Structure 1
Amino acid sequence: MRPFDNPKVASAFEALPPPTRTGALALRDLIFDTAASLSGAPLINEELRWGQPAYLAPKGSTIRLGGHKSASFALFVHCQSRLMGDFTSVFPGEDRIDGTRAVLFDSPDQIDPNRHGWLIARALTYHL
């Protein structure tokens, strides 16, 4: 696991219930792995937004991780972007989705590095 640079983010993960934390940490690893694989590897800032771990790239759209009322954990993107619409067009019916804002997960086993990495890459480079 990648160490935390921001103690507030580390505390936010520690405050999550164990099943949510496990899934959110797996998504965190996928975010950093995906960023490292991109051409020109964007600098990722890990901060808190709305009390949740958030990942920002200079030319990207914010990604947030956390619990969800209908799932153990979720990957959130900006609801007014085209990210979720593009994702569901490319991967129709493959995930539980909350409108235009989140992919919902009940288990880390549901995380697909290729499919969800695709969404993460699009979010990190959204404004390019």
Structure 2
Amino acid sequence: MNEQVKAKFDSYPEGVIPKMLELREAIINVIEECEFSDYEETLKWGEPSYLVEGGSTVRIDWKAKSPDQYYVFFNCKTKLVDTFRELYTDDLVFEGNRAIVLNLKQSFPVEEVRHCIELSLRYQSIKNLPLLGA
């Protein structure tokens, strides 16, 4: 983890850090399991961001204005969140066409979120497939 990203994680409230680290771990696991050769972990718009070649950036964050929630953000100019909504309308909560909203007081829906992250990281090669090939 680079120093800027580490500083961002360290800035979260004590009860938020474990959830954010769990989310980061899910992203890193997807990257490793899909054998993406290189990935970038950085801050974009002040949020921890993850990108692989041929993918669409995945950003994560917690916001003080919504203290019980944390987020996985996607490029709003893609059809990612619309596709996720079709696949997981009963399992996940969405914010517009840009984010999955997670609740700090609920269990982390690992498999669903991991699948969404994988689709985002593969986006350039699957963007023309129905439901992104899901």
The size of the alignment, in residue pairs, is 123
Query: 1:7 is matched with which residue?
Result: 3
Normalised by the length of structure 1, the TM-score is 0.87
Note the residue ranges of structure 2 that are not aligned, 5 or more in a row: 126-134
Distance (whole Å) between structure 2 residues aligned to residue 35 and residue 42 of structure 1: 8
Aligned: 1:41 with 2:36: yes
Give how far 1:108 is off: 7.2
The Cα offsets for residues 51-101 of structure 1, whole Å up to 9 and x where unpaired, read as 110001111111111114444211111111111111111112211211111
Query: 1:30 is matched with which residue?
Result: 26
Query: 2:129 is matched with which residue?
Result: none
Q: Relative contact order, CA 8 A, sep 6+: which one is greater? A: 1
Contact 1:64 1:76 in 2 (8 A): yes
In our comparison, the structure showing a higher alpha carbon Rg is: 2
Runs of at least 4 residues of structure 1 off by over 4 A? none
> Cα RMSD (Å) of the superposition?
1.6
Note the residue ranges of structure 1 that are not aligned, 5 or more in a row: none
SS state at 2:16 partner: helix
2:55 to 53, 60, 65: 60
Give how far 1:109 is off: 4.7
Q: Aligned ranges for residues 1-128 of structure 1 at < 5 Å?
A: 4=1, 6-38=2-34, 40-68=35-63, 69-70=65-66, 71-107=68-104, 109-128=106-125
